[in-house]
C-alpha cells in the first residue's frame, strides 16, 4: 500500500490553528498610497485584501494564538508539549521569539527556538520538528509560522507592497509507533540566486570610540525582483514536487489537495497546470490574506480543515518557496 513503508517512529497530525489580525488593507486602500488599482492587483496576483498587525501586536502574540488553537484541537495539556519551532523572518526578538510563545502557552517542558527560511520557513520547521520526533526523544511538537512583513514592506514600492500581509498558523504533530503520515519531503536552497529577494541589514556604521567602529543593527525594507522570483517559483516548484512524488511512489492523481505557498495566483495556476493537478484541488485563501510568508501554508491548512473540506486521511501535497532562495515540498496524510 502506498505510503506504508514505515520503519520505526512516524509522524501524525493532531491539530491546527491560525490567527489573523483584524485590520484589513484592501487594494482600494493601497491605491491611495501608490499608483495602482484593484483591477491590476487582482489580475496580476489574485489578491484583494491582506491583514495588518495592530501597533501592539507582534510575531509571538500572533504565533501564540495560532499555537493555542492547534493545541486545543489536539487536546494537549501545555506541559505535554516537548518542542516548539517558530518559523519567522520578522521576530520581535532577534535572540528568539519562540520562548515567549512557550511562556505564554505555559509549555514549561518544551524546547523552543526560532527558524528562519522566509516563505519556506514553515515547511523547513515542519521537517526539522519531524526529525526531532522520529529520533524518539521528543513526542509532541508545535510547528508555528508567524510573520509580520508589514513592518518591513516599502509602502512606496508598488511592485512589492501589494503582495504582503501579516498572520500566523500552527500545526500540532506527534510521534507515533503505529503509523507515519508524513510520507516524504524534499528541501532545497540556492544562495547564488539569493539577491532576488532580501531583507538586508542596513549596514550603517557606528562608532564606539574614535578607534573602534561597529555595524549598527537595523534592517531595511524588503527588496524584490518580482519577475525573477516568479520565474524561479514556476520552474522549480513543479520539479521538486515531481521528484517527491516519484521518490514516494505517488502519482499526482493520488493527491487530494495541493497547498502551495500563497505568493501569486498565477504561480499557483502555472504550477498546477505543469503538474496536471486539477484547479479544484488547489486550495487558496490568497485573495483574503495575500502573502504572509511563513504563515501561508498553515493558514490554508487551518481554514480548510476547519471548514471540513480537508478530511481525515486526505493526501496533501504542500510546497513552500521564496527568499534564500529556498524551496521545498512535503507529502502527508491528514490525521
Catalytic residue among 181, 261, 264, 285: 261
Instruction: Tell me how far, at minimum, the Cβ of 141 lies from ligand UT7, in Å.
Output: 24
CB burial of 254-270 (b: ≥16 within 10 Å; e: otherwise) equals: ebbbbbbbbbbbebbeb
| Minimum CB distance to ligand UT7 smaller for 41 or for 117 | 41
The bridge status of strand 197-198 relative to strand 182-189 is: unpaired
By the rule CB under 6 A, 229 interacts with ligand UT7: yes
The reply to whether omega before 303 is within 30° of 0 (cis) is no
Please pick, from the candidates 227, 247, 249, 313, the single residue that binds ligand UT7 as defined by CB under 6 A: 227
Task: Tell me the number of residues near ligand UT7 by CB under 6 A.
Answer: 18
**Residue labelled with grid coordinates 487594494:** 27
| Minimum CB distance to ligand UT7 smaller for 176 or for 225 | 225
Please pick, from the candidates 291, 292, 319, 326, the single residue that binds ligand UT7 as defined by CB under 6 A: 291
Instruction: Tell me how far, at minimum, the Cβ of 318 lies from ligand UT7, in Å.
Output: 14
Distance of CA 66 to the CA centre of its chain: 13
By the rule CB under 6 A, 40 interacts with ligand UT7: yes
Of the candidate spans 80-88, 105-113, 198-206, 222-230, the one that interacts with ligand UT7 by CB under 6 A turns out to be 222-230
Of the candidate spans 127-135, 156-164, 203-211, 279-287, the one that interacts with ligand UT7 by CB under 6 A turns out to be 156-164
By the rule CB under 6 A, 188 interacts with ligand UT7: no
Positive or negative, the CA dihedral 169, 175, 178, 184 is: positive
Please pick, from the candidates 91, 167, 322, 328, the single residue that binds ligand UT7 as defined by CB under 6 A: 322
Cα–Cα distances (Å) from 250 to 56, 181, 241, 305, 331, in that order, read 46, 14, 11, 22, 9
CB 133 within 8 A of CB 152: no
By the rule CB under 6 A, 159 interacts with ligand UT7: yes
Please pick, from the candidates 71, 101, 119, 317, the single residue that binds ligand UT7 as defined by CB under 6 A: 119
Catalytic residue among 119, 181, 186, 264: 119
In 249-323, where does DSSP find H-type helix? 265-275, 286-289, 296-306
* 27 is annotated as an active-site residue: no
Residues 298-317 that bind ligand UT7 (CB under 6 A): none
* 119 is annotated as an active-site residue: yes
Grid cell listed for 21: 489580525
* End-to-end alpha carbon distance in the chain: 17
| Minimum CB distance to ligand UT7 smaller for 259 or for 263 | 263
What's the rounded Cα separation, in Å, for the pair 59 and 43? Answer: 30
Work out the angle between the directed axes of helices 296-306 and 121-134 (0-180°, nearest 10): 80
* 291 is annotated as an active-site residue: yes
Instruction: Tell me how far, at minimum, the Cβ of 199 lies from ligand UT7, in Å.
Output: 11
CB 298 within 8 A of CB 145: yes
By the rule CB under 6 A, 263 interacts with ligand UT7: yes
The bridge status of strand 257-260 relative to strand 205-209 is: unpaired
Catalytic positions: 119, 261, 291
Residue ranges in contact with ligand UT7 by CB under 6 A: 36, 40-41, 44-45, 119, 158-159, 162, 224, 226-227, 229-230, 263-264, 291, 322
Amino acid at each position: 500500500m502506498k505510503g506504508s513503508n514505515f520503519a520505526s517512529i512516524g509522524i501524525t497530525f493532531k491539530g491546527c490553528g491560525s490567527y489573523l489580525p483584524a485590520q484589513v488593507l484592501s487594494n482600494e486602500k493601497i491605491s491611495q498610497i501608490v499608483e495602482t488599482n484593484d483591477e491590476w492587483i487582482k489580475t496580476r496576483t489574485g489578491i484583494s485584501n491582506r491583514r495588518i498587525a495592530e501597533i501592539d501586536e507582534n510575531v509571538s502574540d500572533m504565533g501564540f494564538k495560532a499555537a493555542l488553537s492547534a493545541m486545543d484541537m489536539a487536546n494537549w495539556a501545555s506541559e505535554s508539549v516537548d518542542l516548539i519551532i517558530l518559523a519567522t523572518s520578522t521576530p520581535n526578538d532577534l535572540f528568539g521569539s519562540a520562548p515567549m510563545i512557550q511562556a505564554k502557552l505555559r509549555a514549561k517542558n518544551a524546547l523552543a527556538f526560532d527558524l528562519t527560511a522566509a516563505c519556506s520557513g514553515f515547511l523547513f520547521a515542519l521537517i526539522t520538528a519531524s526529525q526531532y520526533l522520529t529520533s524518539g526523544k521528543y513526542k509532541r511538537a508545535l510547528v508555528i509560522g508567524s510573520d509580520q512583513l508589514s513592518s518591513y514592506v516599502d509602502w512606496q514600492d508598488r511592485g512589492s507592497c501589494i503582495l504582503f500581509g501579516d498572520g500566523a498558523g500552527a500545526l500540532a504533530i506527534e510521534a507515533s509507533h503505529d503509523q507515519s503520515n508524513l510520507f516524504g519531503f524534499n528541501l532545497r536552497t540556492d544562495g547564488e540566486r539569493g539577491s532576488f529577494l532580501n531583507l538586508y541589514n542596513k549596514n550603517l556604521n557606528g562608532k564606539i570610540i574614535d578607534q573602534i567602529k561597529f555595524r549598527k543593527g537595523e534592517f531595511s525594507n524588503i527588496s524584490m525582483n518580482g519577475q525573477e522570483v516568479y520565474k524561479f517559483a514556476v520552474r522549480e516548484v513543479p520539479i521538486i514536487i515531481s521528484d517527491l512524488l516519484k521518490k514516494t511512489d505517488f502519482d499526482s492523481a493520488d493527491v487530494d489537495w495541493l497547498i502551495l505557498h500563497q505568493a501569486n495566483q498565477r504561480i499557483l495556476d502555472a504550477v498546477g497546470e505543469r503538474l496536471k493537478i486539477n484547479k479544484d484541488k488547489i486550495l487558496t485563501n490568497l485573495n483574503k490574506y495575500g502573502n504572509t510568508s511563513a504563515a501561508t501554508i498553515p493558514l490554508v491548512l487551518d481554514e480548510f480543515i476547519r471548514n471540513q473540506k480537508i478530511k481525515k486521511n486526505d493526501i496533501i501535497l504542500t510546497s513552500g518557496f521564496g527568499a534564500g532562495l529556498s524551496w521545498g515540498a512535503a507529502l502527508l496524510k491528514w490525521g
